[in-house]
Amino acid sequence: MPEKRRYFRIADTIGLSFKQARPVKPDLSLSTSVVEMEQRLASLDAEINSIVNRIWSSNPELSEALGLLNRKIDLLTGNKVANKVAEQEQYDHHFEQIEVSLSASGVAFDSEVKLDIGDRLDLMLVLKPSNMRLQSKGTVVNVAEKKPGELNPYVASIDFDLVPQDEERLIQHIVQRQVQIMAKKDSSS
């Protein structure tokens, strides 16, 4: 039975890039030491992002500053796992901030392009405020048309193919954002 946490869904603003997936040739040039270093960096990045997300509810400016500082360190060190900014150029469609319906199992968003059910996509999600980057393949499972003449006339629903570590990072982000949303509602009541 699938874990229920995968299906908790929130409305969120994220960075999103995608393109039609193409077969990828494996990179045989990576040594195991490079892979291990990337895994350790990814683990540290996940811990930092978790802390930044927890700080967000009490001090959004500090949280944003820490996220930017982490990104700057990634740029200076050339971290291939966390620094995917240059890779955005390889995506056909890129949004700095887009409203989405997000769960660990998938994402739905307004799109200017009509995707077909069954299309395979390469996706990069940038979760705010930590700027945590997650790359995934996805399958288009639903496409709906909105009213004619709208800027983004389609709503695309994508099912993720996340590795377990990234799925857990996304679940943590969703839970933390849900807590922030509930806290904001309580404080405005």
115-171 pLDDT, tens digit per residue, is: 999 999 999 999 988 888 899 999 999 999 998 888 889 999 999 999 999 999 999
> With bands split at pLDDT 50, 70 and 90, how would you rate the model's confidence at 86?
low
- Separation in Å, CA 1 to CA 5, 93, 96, 151: 12, 35, 35, 39
Whether cis (ω within 30° of 0) applies to the bond prior to 148 is no
Residue 78 lies in a domain: yes
Q: What is the mean pLDDT of the chain?
A: 80
Q: Is the pLDDT of residue 179 over 60?
A: yes
Query: What pLDDT does residue 75 have?
Result: 66
Q: Is the pLDDT of residue 183 over 60?
A: yes
Residue 1 lies in a domain: no
Query: What pLDDT does residue 78 have?
Result: 63
Structure tokens at 156: 């695309």
Query: What pLDDT does residue 36 have?
Result: 66
Structure tokens at 15: 């960075």
Structure tokens at 14: 């994220």
Tens-digit pLDDT profile for residues 35-60: 566 666 766 776 777 677 777 667 87
Query: CA-based angle 177:183:188, to the nearest 5?
Result: 130
Residue 125 lies in a domain: yes
Residue 13 lies in a domain: yes
Residue 164 lies in a domain: yes
Q: Is the pLDDT of residue 101 over 90?
A: yes
> With bands split at pLDDT 50, 70 and 90, how would you rate the model's confidence at 82?
very low
Rounded percentage of the chain residues whose pLDDT exceeds 70: 75
CB–CB of 107/158 below 8 Å?
yes
Residue 114 lies in a domain: yes
Q: Which residue is listed with tokens 């193409």?
A: 22
Query: What pLDDT does residue 83 have?
Result: 46
Alpha-carbon distance of 66 to 55, in angstroms, equals: 10
Residue-range definition of the domain harbouring residue 164 = 7-188
Residue 2 lies in a domain: no
Query: What pLDDT does residue 33 have?
Result: 52
For residue 18, give the CATH number of its domain.
Answer: 2.40.10.220
Can you tell me the mean pLDDT for 100-128?
A: 94
Residue 45 lies in a domain: yes
Our count of domains for the chain comes to 1
